[in-house]
Amino acid sequence: MKVLLDLQYLNVATTGIKTYMMELAQAVLTYPHPEIEWVFSHDPKEQSADQTFKGVQSKIQRLNYHLDYFRWKEFQLPDMVKKHQADVLICPDFVSPVASLSCRRLTVIHDAFFWQMPQNYPTWWRTYFLSLIRKGLKQNTEIITTTNYSRDAILSHLGNKSPISVIYQVPKNMTTEVDSAFIEKLGVDKYQYFVHIGTFDKRKNLPLLVRAFASFLEKTNSDFKLLLAGGAGQSAQMNDLPIVEKLITELKLEGKVLLPGYVSDAQVRALYEGAFAYVFPSENEGFGIPIVEAMGFGIPVIHSDQPALVEVSAGAGLVSKTGDTQDLAEKMILLASEDSLRMSLIERGLERAKDFSAKKFIADFQKLILSK
């Protein structure tokens, strides 16, 4: 059985999808199967390091990227399928070629955000991208997604034309050394800060987290700090960073809420290892990688009752009401005041994190690939 894995999108992929693609490629190499021969469209490390289309700003640059992507999906990738005589094509970036192919297709649709939150995307781009997704779901195509919540959401928008399988993904394998000086540079003490790591996309509800933290400080009179690490939202429509910066000033939280910006893997490890708790108030997620990452580092997690996060944490996190500032503040206060609760969450989280291993991730793919 010959399987072609499309890794072209790594030249622009960020956050969750990049992690998914890199960890899938690594798992393929780490856990080979005697009945499956894998072919990578690109070397994952080289493609991920390609800077050609990263950080494009002008309309011409964006147009060139879209033309390059379209050319790859509709001409070069089908040619690769023919060249390697692939039995299965896996596209982990939502889109499969519109062209007719002789092989079976497995297309990963990570979430239903494009349908659920149209306000977060430019209208023309969303229309174009959804058209590509739908046109690629043809012939012998199956969808893979990350949670039962995402599966149900996708079904509600695409119907049951294509079978959908749920395969839980894995967090990034961070093997770099810890930047032990990073926490000191930020001026925070170990176990005296809450942390959130990720972009400032609107769906992450980070302004709400800032307001909840302000309430937490007012009611506890503690020296805790809040670290919001990560870059701006992926578009002007999705970016809450300016709102968070304004809130910090309005609520007089300078020096209390810290924005270190983009952080390296070594700095992420330092943030995790020194955190009192991870807070994830997102209003919509397809999976929620940071929950698994934090639990794996032995950090208690507070997360919203958004269905995918509840599914992933499976009772190992402290749940707050989505969009409720005071409830989130109360959960933060509860965790800070009850050491036994914190220790229980740490133990449950470490156990839950074991369910998201690279070995299980690739085993589920292998099982699906060999099912027909």
Mean pLDDT within 120-130: 86
Global pTM value: 0.93
Residue 233 is predicted with a pLDDT of 67
| pLDDT tens digits along 130-156 | 999 999 997 789 999 999 999 999 999
Query: How would you write 78-134 as a 3-class SS string?
Result: HHHHHHHCCCEEEECCCCCCCCCCCCEEEEECCCCHHHHCHHHCCHHHHHHHHHHHH
Q: Exposure of 15 by Cβ count < 10 A (0-12 exposed, 13-18 middle, 19+ buried)?
A: middle
DSSP class per residue in 191-256: TSEEEEES--BGGG-HHHHHHHHHHHHHHH----EEEEES---SSTTTB-HHHHHHHHHHTT-TTT
Residue 56 is predicted with a pLDDT of 60
- The residue that leads in pLDDT, 202 or 238, is 202
| pLDDT tens digits along 250-307 | 999 999 999 999 999 999 999 999 999 999 999 999 999 999 999 999 999 999 999 9
Which residue, among 180, 205, 196, 171, has the nearest Cα to 277 in the 3D structure? 196
Write down all domains in the chain, each with its CATH number in brackets: 2-170+357-369 (3.40.50.2000), 182-353 (3.40.50.2000)
Residue 210 is predicted with a pLDDT of 98
- Look over the chain and give the mean of its residue pLDDT values, rounded to a whole number: 93
Residue 65 is predicted with a pLDDT of 84
| pLDDT tens digits along 16-74 | 899 999 999 999 999 999 999 999 999 999 999 988 877 766 778 878 888 899 999 99
Residue 323 is predicted with a pLDDT of 96
